[in-house]
Amino acid sequence: MVYGIVPARGGSKGVPGKNIKLLGGYPLIAYSIAASKMAGSISRTIVSTDSAEIADIAKKYGAEVPFLRPAILAGDRSPDIDFILHAINWFQQNEKKVPEYFVHLRPTTPLRDPAIIDRAIKEMKSSGDATSLRSGHPAPESPFKWFLRDAHGYFKGILPEYSNDFINLPRQSFPIVYIPDGYVDVLKTPFIIGSNTLHGDKMIGFISPFCVEVDSAEEFAFLELEIQKGCNAVYMYLKANFPKEI
């Protein structure tokens, strides 16, 4: 069994009410719910939230909200493992079964291709040794070329063995670095239960398309322009199946 899980706490300091703020006329969380429901490999879409308002909105767009997450597990510094373990414990106690995989879909990454989610799940299932899968896209510039500034005001390489002249080499001289993003994480429930950790040391590096993480008003504005192009499958699904909120 594979369940999609969308975490959406009520509080947000950067953008108040971020998870239900309208984007293209739909609450932000609706995009991740829709992406989960469109992915053929996912059998149930669960929202984990501490907010009754978010729960009601999530249900409107087809998600299940079988529980409310305790507020103590929904702070701005609460690690992801808190809500995952809470969900696992709830399913163990109330349904006497848990899915083999949870597909973690952060609401702050709204524009996805469900086919890519399915491809990530397939890759995870086909790797017997993997402890998890996490997506990332190539960094546009290498952080190995960045500097630290010492107490005397001099720039130094991030790694001691990287001299200033070495750092000045072309970017092709350095390894490709990937930026973790919220496109898709695939988490293996038996591993989490056995280790009390999410990812482990055999985490598949799944290369995703570049995606914008929504953490500011400026990023919302940018995505509004992207949505107006009308080429995102999730937005088109929402538009075809639900009336806009505005």
What tokens appear for 51 in the block?
A: 């907010």
pLDDT category at 246 given cuts 50, 70, 90 is low
Share of the chain above pLDDT 90, in %: 71
∠ at Cα 134 (26, 211), nearest 5°?
40
Which pLDDT value is given to residue 160? 85
Give the mean pLDDT of 147-175. 90
pLDDT category at 159 given cuts 50, 70, 90 is confident
pLDDT category at 156 given cuts 50, 70, 90 is very high
Given the structure tokens 């991030």, which residue do they identify?
Answer: 158
Which pLDDT value is given to residue 70? 87
pLDDT in tens, 193-208: 999 999 999 999 999 9
Q: Is 177 helix (H, G, I), strand (E, B) or coil?
A: coil
Given the structure tokens 């996805």, which residue do they identify?
Answer: 112
pTM of the shown model: 0.91
Measured between alpha carbons, how far is residue 245 from residues 62, 79, 174 in Å? 15, 31, 47
pLDDT in tens, 97-131: 999 999 999 999 999 999 999 999 999 999 989 99
List the one residue out of 71, 86, 96 whose CA is nearest residue 5.
86
Which pLDDT value is given to residue 133? 98
DSSP H/E element including 38: helix 28-38
* First-to-last C-alpha distance (Å) of the chain: 36
Architecture of domain 2-139+176-241: Alpha-Beta Complex (3.90)
- Comparing 171 with 94, which gets the higher pLDDT? 94
Specify whether the CB–CB gap between 198 and 86 falls below 8 A: no
> Looking at the predicted structure, is the pLDDT value of residue 14 above 70?
no
The CA radius of gyration of the chain, in Å to the nearest whole number, is 20
pLDDT in tens, 185-242: 999 999 999 999 999 999 999 999 998 888 888 898 999 998 888 789 999 999 999 9
- C-alpha to C-alpha distance for 83 and 107, rounded to whole angstroms: 14
> Looking at the predicted structure, is the pLDDT value of residue 13 above 70?
no
pLDDT category at 81 given cuts 50, 70, 90 is very high
pLDDT category at 155 given cuts 50, 70, 90 is very high
Which pLDDT value is given to residue 226? 87
**Overall residue count recorded for the chain in this entry:** 246
- Comparing 17 with 67, which gets the higher pLDDT? 67
